[in-house]
Amino acid sequence: IDRRESRQTKQRLLVVANRLPVSAVRRGDSWSLEISAGGLVSALLGVKEFEAKWIGWAGVNVPDEVGQKALTKALAEKRCIPVFLDEEIVHQYYNGYCNNILWPLFHYLGLPQEDRLATTRSFQSQFDAYKKANQMFADVVNEHYVDGDVVWCHDYHLMFLPKCLKEYNSNMKVGWFLHTPFPSSEIHRTLPSRSELLRSVLAADLVGFHTYDYARHFVSACTRILGLEGTPEGVEDQGKLTRVAAFPIGIDSERFIRALDQPKVQDHIKELKDRFAGRKVMLGVDRLDMIKGIPQKILAFEKFLEENPCWRDKVVLLQIAVPTRTDVPEYQKLTSQVHEIVGRINGRFGTLTAVPIHHLDRSLDFHALCALYAVTDVALVTSLRDGMNLVSYEFVACQESKKGVLILSEFAGAAQSLGAGALLVNPWNITEVANSIGYALNMPADEREKRHNLNFIHVKNHTAQDWAETFVSELNDTIVEAQLRTRQ
């Protein structure tokens, strides 16, 4: 049987993520909405086979019914459906359980000590809020679900969702994808709610990760913690198989490649070239998050300058760090720490006319970002852990003419796909990163070209669209298989 034949031509896809891909601003009785063009949005816009709708939180507190109705109506035009979360739930579920517990744990930073936990009340109340929030997402999905829809749940915010959805309707086709790493089972087993979370994820029909290692860690956690059986396809529990597999994400590479020809980007490129004439440009672009290893990166750059005086006036590091989760104390501390280190290094190696580090605490628009990628000689991605890291892909996509070097953390998922062309480093080893900076800056053109070509082919051929299509069609097949079994 050709399973694809049995599908409707335009199947509906319900994408469920914590945040909707829009930013909403209230203006009196109406709302103004702006679509944020993230990787996930462009990936799903490109999936022609499905008609996608989004379900998620709009990122704003809307306590009144009138406001909720108006926002729901405005969002419907963008194919978005809101889940309304009040401030207390957001504090306990989002700031608390998601960002204070799961995010650091999945990136190997461990569980919070008492002082960090105390800021958002107890672990148990955060977990209760997490489950409650996931149930609220499930209620909205269930309300909009029609037979034949495919439901794709995203990320660590919604690990409890597959179970809630299957409780509503066991025939619902449910997939779950994790954008962060899934840690070693020895790390996961420290989580007080370890078993409950694993069991609820296993309620999905297909569970996806960026790399085989994360998928393997997940299967090990299920076998060691839950005592279930791991098979080459996934995890089996009393005859029910949950497929577990790797689906490495990509970017919309053509969007970046095309942008380089636009006059706006060309103007930026010219400006940057003039501004940094005679100096090599090194670049870091990260959300300001402890997992991105920004202090370690800057300290490695300092070590490089210390040991290579001849480079001091010939290289500049541009570090663009967009602040996130600014109400969490750890993130505020990180901002001050980075400012302190940058100030010290600029004081130490700067001159009256130039400083070695330009640090910006802000987001750049798409055109400015493309121009920066294009003029960069060496990109530094030194995440301490990272599910994939799309910045490394975006840099490669913009380097067809320059063929610059990518220095990439071996702890980013991207190391599995761009490892052949990048210089892989252990970001904790500042000496190794400093040496790699020297190696990259001195790399002969033919080696740069060879390395770039390997990565460019990968980035061009593994797009976000392919990623989404593969996941959704595999999810479909999983279910079709299950249905075929029951029919036999």
- Find the shortest distance in angstroms from Cβ 411 to ligand ADQ: 11
- One residue of 184, 335, 363, 483 binding ligand ADQ per CB under 6 A: 363
Rule CB under 6 A: say whether 451 interacts with ligand ADQ: no
Which residues are 14's β-sheet partners?
A: 53, 151
394 binds ligand ADQ (CB under 6 A): yes
Residue with smaller CB distance to ligand ADQ, 231 or 324: 324
Is 163 a binder of ligand ADQ (CB under 6 A)? no
**DSSP string computed for 344-368:** HHHHHH--SS--SEEEE-S---HHH
Phi-psi region of 75 (alpha: psi -120 to 50; beta: other; left: phi over 0): alpha
* Angle formed at CA 218 by CA 240 and CA 109, multiple of 5 degrees: 150
Quick note: the x/- pattern for ligand ADQ over 307-346, rule CB under 6 A, is -------------x-x------------------------
297 near ligand ADQ (CB under 6 A): no
> Considering CB under 6 A, how many residues would be counted as binding ligand ADQ?
19
467 alpha carbon, distance to own chain's centre: 14
* Binding region for ligand ADQ (CB under 6 A) out of 240-248, 282-290, 398-406, 444-452: 282-290
Dist. CA 366–CA 371, nearest whole Å: 9
Which string of x and - marks every residue 365-384 that binds ligand ADQ (by CB under 6 A)? ----x---------------
Q: What is the CA radius of gyration of the chain?
A: 23
How far is the C-alpha of 139 from the C-alpha of 169, rounded, in Å? 12
Binding mask 229-258 for ligand ADQ (x = CB under 6 A): --------------------x---------
* Gap between the Cα atoms of 454 and 419, Å rounded: 9
Among 14, 85, 391, 443, binds ligand ADQ (CB under 6 A): 391
Q: Supply the minimum distance, in Å, between the C-beta of residue 57 and ligand ADQ.
A: 17
- Strand arrangement, sheet containing 315-323: 357-360, 315-323, 280-288, 378-381, 405-409, 423-425
Rule CB under 6 A: say whether 418 interacts with ligand ADQ. Answer: no
- Give the C-alpha separation, 99 to 21, whole Å: 19
Q: Which residues of 281-320 are buried (b: 16+ CB within 10 A; e: fewer)?
A: bbbbbbebbbbbbbbbbbbbbbbbbeebeebbeebbbbbb
Q: Which of 80, 378, 379, 390 binds ligand ADQ (CB under 6 A)?
A: 390
Closer residue to ligand ADQ (CB): 53 or 179: 179
Q: Which stretch binds ligand ADQ (CB under 6 A): 28-36, 157-165, 167-175, 387-395?
A: 387-395
| Nearest approach, Cβ of residue 98 and ligand ADQ (Å) | 13
Q: Containing H/E element for 152?
A: strand 150-154
179 binds ligand ADQ (CB under 6 A): yes
Residue 389 found at the interface with ligand ADQ (CB under 6 A) = yes
Helix/strand/coil percent split, the chain, to 5: 50, 20, 30
Q: Rule CB under 6 A: which residues touch ligand ADQ?
A: 39, 179-180, 249, 285-287, 320, 322, 363-364, 369, 386-391, 394
